[in-house]
Amino acid sequence: MPLLNLSLLSKFILGITLAAPLGPVSIEMIQRGLSRGFLSSFSIRLGGVIGNTLCLILSLMGLTSLLQFPWALNILGLMGGLVLCHMGIQSWRKSFRPIQRESSQSLDNGILLGFYLSLANPVALVFWLGIFAADLESEASFSLDTLLPELMILVGVLCWGAGLASIASLGRQWLSPRRLILVTRLSSALLVCFGLKYMWAVLEKIFF
C-alpha cells in the first residue's frame, strides 16, 4: 500500500508539472480569468482534461495488443521519457521569450476550446502511450490498479488549473511576469527529471 500511495503521489505531481508551464492553455486561462472570472478560466482546463482523457483511453486500447511484445513497450516507454524531456527543454527555452497575454482564440466556449487545444497537440497521444508503456510489464493485465495512477495525472492537472483560475480571477498582482517565469522554469526542470526517470525505468527492464 505505501508503494501504491507513493506512485499515486508521483503521478499527481507529474500532472501539476505538466500543467504548470506557460503554454497556450495557461495563457488563455489567465486572459479569461482576468476578464471573465474563475469559471470561464477553469472551463478551458476542464476541456483539456476531457481531451486528454480521450487520448488516455485510446492509448490504453492501443497498448492492449502490444502486451505480448515487450520490445514494443520498451520503445514506447523510451519515447514517453523523451517526450517529457523535450517538453521540459522547449518550455525552458520559451520562458526566455516575452510573455504574450493577448487571446488569439476564436472559440468562446471554454470547454470546447480546451478540448480542441488538447487534441490539436499530436504529442498528447505519444505521451500517454509512452507513460503507460514505461509503467507496464509485459505480463501485466489492464485493471483499475493499472489505470488509477494515470488518472492521478489528470487530477493533478485539474488541481493546478483550479489554482491558476482562482489566482487569475483575483487580479494581476498575483500574476507578475517574474512569478510566471519562475513557475515555468521550475516545472520545466521537473519535466526533464520525470522524463529521465521513465527512461531509466525502461532501461532497468532491458538490462537489469
pLDDT reading at 159 higher than 90 = yes
- How far is residue 110's CA from residue 183's CA, in Å, rounded to a whole number? 24
For residues 44 and 116, the answer to whether their CB atoms sit within 8 Å is: no
Distances (CA, A) of 111 to 13, 32, 131: 24, 12, 25
- Cell for 42? 477553469
Q: What is the mean pLDDT of residues 26-32?
A: 80
Q: Where are the domains of the chain?
A: 2-207
pLDDT band at 162 (very low <50, low <70, confident <90, very high): very high
- Single pTM value for the model: 0.76
Distances (CA, A) of 196 to 53, 59, 82, 123, 208: 24, 21, 8, 17, 17
